Amino acid sequence: MNCDFCQQAGELQYRIRTQASAGWRFACPGCWQRQSQEPGYQYGGTRKANRRERDRRKRRG
Ligand SMILES: [Zn+2]
C-alpha cells in the first residue's frame, strides 16, 4: 500500500477526500494531517495492511 500523496509505503492509511480531488485517496498519517486542513476535507475510513488480524479471532468450542 502506498500513500497517494507522498508515494511512501505504509501499513496504515486514511481514506480521505478534499475539494481538490473528485475521488477518494489514501494518505499516510503524515499526509493526512496536512490534508485534513484542506477545504472540503472528508474522512472515509482507515485501512491497514496486516490482514492477519482476522486470524486472531479464534472460536472456542
Ligand atoms: Zn504520505
Q: Give 57 Cα–ligand 1 centroid separation in angstroms.
A: 31
Tens of pLDDT, residues 23-49: 999 999 999 999 999 999 999 999 998
Look at residue 22 in the predicted model and tell me its pLDDT: 84
Place of cell 500500500: 1
Give the integer Cα–Cα distance in Å for 59 and 16.
Answer: 34
Q: To the nearest whole percent, how much of the chain has pLDDT over 90?
A: 75
**32 with 25: CB under 8 angstroms?**
no
**28 with 6: CB under 8 angstroms?**
yes
Q: Give 3 Cα–ligand 1 centroid separation in angstroms.
A: 5
pTM: 0.77
Q: How many CA atoms lie within 13 A of 2 on its CB side?
A: 5
Look at residue 40 in the predicted model and tell me its pLDDT: 96
Q: To the nearest whole percent, how much of the chain has pLDDT over 70?
A: 82
Q: Give 61 Cα–ligand 1 centroid separation in angstroms.
A: 44
